């Protein structure tokens, strides 16, 4: 049984559609990440689920109830905010106790639950402090604790790690994941950081312009992006995208650089995909790890020019201009190349992505 279901959810401000026909289902115990660039509607979607802003259309189901018209307090959810939203005039203990007090639990029970949550999060020694006396990481834990003291149907998290410094963020990321695992909790997690989504989530919902682009497991989103937006958004460094023309010579199909004139023959499988493109133009996508670098012309390789070289220690990243587009490639640190050097890039036919030049959708073999 799905724990949270969104069906055709809409939110518009006049002619401005912040959330446009979004539908997806979150199973019980699933960790779902809502990702997308800022302004894509992910936080608005979360606020709609929480009931903090009224919906313009569609249905939201939490547990076994349609909650469209319920107040946030009646939706049986907990939420962690980006800036933590700890009540500054209350001690940590009172912050944690507040949701229980609001539900009129007996005092002894409140204390027991707060203590238990504090113990889990290792903040028992901070209970008497005020939020402003805590470090960012500690505030983060308290915010989590306030969500944890209850046993809600779903946890909503709005970029909970983005205010932490990089090192702490990585540590908290694994703790959150562990916390999800231990509690078997249903979590909907908003982030603009695709790495967070990929590393933590069971499923990710990629949003752009108020529209849900793809809803799938991180592996599938990474492996089979539905369009160029998802392809370029997920993965780091980003997938390289090169706009090219499709040319057919009998049964052979190749890609041609419109500016530099070189051609790249395609495998039969890719040829069938390329033929499906709507106007003879497509976008070739390739992840950095699937590319091979040659210092001289080779079969199935496209010419390029080195732009920058960035050694990171165990792997060196290089950016190479191919047909005017920037191509990211990872190299063994022993490979010596210089900026402005002429190189050739070989593509892996089995692991390349082909997108329609007009609709930007992934091409399927006809």
Partner 1 sequence: MSIATQQAASPPATGTVQKRSGFLSRIVAHRTDYLYVLPALIVMLVVIAYPIYYTIELSFFRTPPNLQMRDKVWTGIDNYVRVLSSPVFHEVTIQTIIWTLASTVISFLLGLGAALSLHREFVGRGLMRALLLIPYVISAVAASYVWKWLYHSDFGVIGAISVQLGITAEPINFLDNRQTVLASLIVVNIWKEFSFAMVMLMAGLQTVPDQLLRAAQVDGANTWNRFWHVTFPHLKGVSMVTVLLLMVANFNSFIIPFVMTGGGPADASHIWITHIYQLAFGRQQWGVASAYAVILFIVMMFLGYFYVKALTRGDEARA
Partner 2 sequence: MAAIETAQRPVVRKPIDWWRWAGRVFLTFLMLFTVLPMAWMILTSVKSQFAAMQYPPQWWPSEPTLNNYFKLLDPTNRIGREFLRYFWNSFYVSLLTTILGVVVAVPAAYAFSRFRFPGRTFLFFSVLVRNMFPAVVFLMPLFLLMRWMGLVNTHGSLILTYLTFGLPLSIWLLKGFYDNIPIQLEQAARIDGATRFQAFILIVMPLSSPGIIATSIFSFIGAWNEYVYAYTFLSRDDQMTLPVGIQRFFTEFATDWPGLMSATFLMSVPVVVLFLVLQKYFVRALTEGAVKH
Asked whether position 89 contacts partner 2 by CB under 8 A, the answer is yes
Q: Are 62 and 76 in contact (CB under 8 A)?
A: yes
Asked whether position 41 contacts partner 2 by CB under 8 A, the answer is no
Q: How far is the CB of 131 from partner 2 (least distance, A)?
A: 11
CB closer to partner 2, 130 vs 256 = 130
Whole-Å CA distances, 365 to 267, 273, 277: 12, 4, 10
Q: How far is the CB of 158 from partner 2 (least distance, A)?
A: 9
CB closer to partner 1, 52 vs 66 = 52
Q: How far is the CB of 91 from partner 2 (least distance, A)?
A: 13
Which window, 60-68, 71-79, 184-192, 341-349, contacts partner 2 (CB under 8 A)? 71-79
Asked whether position 298 contacts partner 2 by CB under 8 A, the answer is no
Q: How far is the CB of 73 from partner 2 (least distance, A)?
A: 4
- The side-by-side arrangement of strands in the sheet containing 57-62 is 16-27, 2-13, 57-62, 65-66
Q: Binder to partner 2 among 23, 54, 65, 103 (CB under 8 A)?
A: 103
Task: Note the residues at the interface with partner 1 (CB under 8 A).
Answer: 13-18, 20-21, 38-44, 47, 52-53, 208-215, 226-227, 229, 359-361
Pairing relationship of beta strands 281-286 and 263-265 according to DSSP bridges = unpaired
Q: Are 91 and 128 in contact (CB under 8 A)?
A: yes
Which window, 95-103, 287-295, 316-324, 335-343, contacts partner 2 (CB under 8 A)? 95-103
DSSP symbols for 315-356: -EEEEEEETTEEEEEEE-TT----TT-EEEEE--GGG-EEEE
Own/partner pairs, 245-250, CB within 8 angstroms, 24+ separation: 245/280, 245/281, 246/274, 246/275, 246/277, 246/280, 246/281, 246/282, 248/275
Q: Binder to partner 2 among 72, 237, 265, 300 (CB under 8 A)?
A: 72
Within 156-175, which residues bind partner 2 (CB under 8 A)? Answer: 156
Whole-number Å distance between alpha carbons of 95 and 153: 20
Q: How far is the CB of 51 from partner 1 (least distance, A)?
A: 13
Interaction partner, residue 16 (partner 1, partner 2, none; CB < 5-8 Å by kind)? partner 1
Q: Is the peptide bond before 237 cis (omega within 30 degrees of 0)?
A: yes
| C-alpha triplet 50, 190, 81: angle, nearest 5° | 60
- The set of residues, in sequence order, having a beta carbon less than 8 Å from that of 265 and lying 6+ positions away, is 252, 253, 254, 300
Asked whether position 79 contacts partner 2 by CB under 8 A, the answer is yes
Q: How far is the CB of 356 from partner 1 (least distance, A)?
A: 10
Contact residues toward partner 2 (CB under 8 A) are 47, 50, 52, 71-73, 75, 77-79, 81-83, 85, 87-89, 98-99, 102-103, 146, 156
């Amino acid at each position: 049984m799905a724990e949270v279901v969104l069906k055709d959810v809409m939110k518009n401000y006049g002619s401005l559609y912040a959330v446009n026909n979004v539908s997806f289902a979150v199973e019980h115990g699933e960790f779902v990440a809502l990702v997308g660039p800022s302004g894509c509607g992910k936080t608005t979607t979360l606020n709609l689920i929480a009931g903090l802003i009224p919906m313009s259309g569609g249905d939201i189901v939490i547990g076994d109830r349609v909650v469209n018209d319920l107040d946030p307090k009646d939706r049986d959810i907990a939420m962690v905010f980006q800036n933590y939203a700890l009540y500054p005039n209350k001690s940590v203990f009172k912050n944690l106790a507040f949701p229980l007090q609001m539900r009129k639990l007996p005092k002894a029970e409140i204390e027991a639950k707060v203590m238990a949550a504090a113990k889990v999060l290792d903040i028992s020694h901070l209970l008497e402090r005020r939020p402003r006396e805590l470090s960012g990481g500690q505030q983060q834990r308290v915010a989590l604790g306030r969500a944890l003291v209850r046993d809600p149907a779903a946890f909503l998290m709005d970029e909970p790690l983005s205010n932490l410094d990089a090192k702490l963020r990585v540590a908290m990321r694994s703790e959150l994941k562990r916390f999800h695992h231990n509690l078997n909790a249903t979590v909907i997690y908003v982030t603009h950081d695709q790495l967070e989504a990929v590393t933590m989530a069971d499923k990710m919902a990629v949003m752009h312009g108020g529209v849900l682009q793809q809803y799938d497991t991180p592996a599938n989103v990474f492996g089979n992006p539905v369009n160029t937006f998802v392809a370029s958004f997920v993965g780091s460094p980003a997938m390289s995208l090169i706009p090219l023309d499709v040319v057919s010579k009998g049964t052979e199909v190749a890609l041609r650089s419109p500016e530099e004139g070189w051609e790249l023959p395609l495998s039969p499988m890719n040829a069938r995909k390329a033929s499906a493109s709507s106007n003879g133009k497509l976008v070739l996508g390739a992840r950095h790890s699937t590319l091979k670098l040659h210092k001289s012309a080779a079969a199935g390789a496209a010419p390029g020019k080195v732009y920058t070289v960035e050694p990171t220690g165990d792997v060196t990243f290089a950016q190479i201009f191919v047909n005017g587009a920037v191509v990211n490639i990872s190299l063994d640190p022993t490979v010596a190349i210089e900026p402005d050097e002429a190189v050739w890039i070989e593509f892996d036919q089995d692991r390349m992505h082909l997108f329609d030049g007009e609709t930007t959708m992934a091409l399927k073999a006809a």
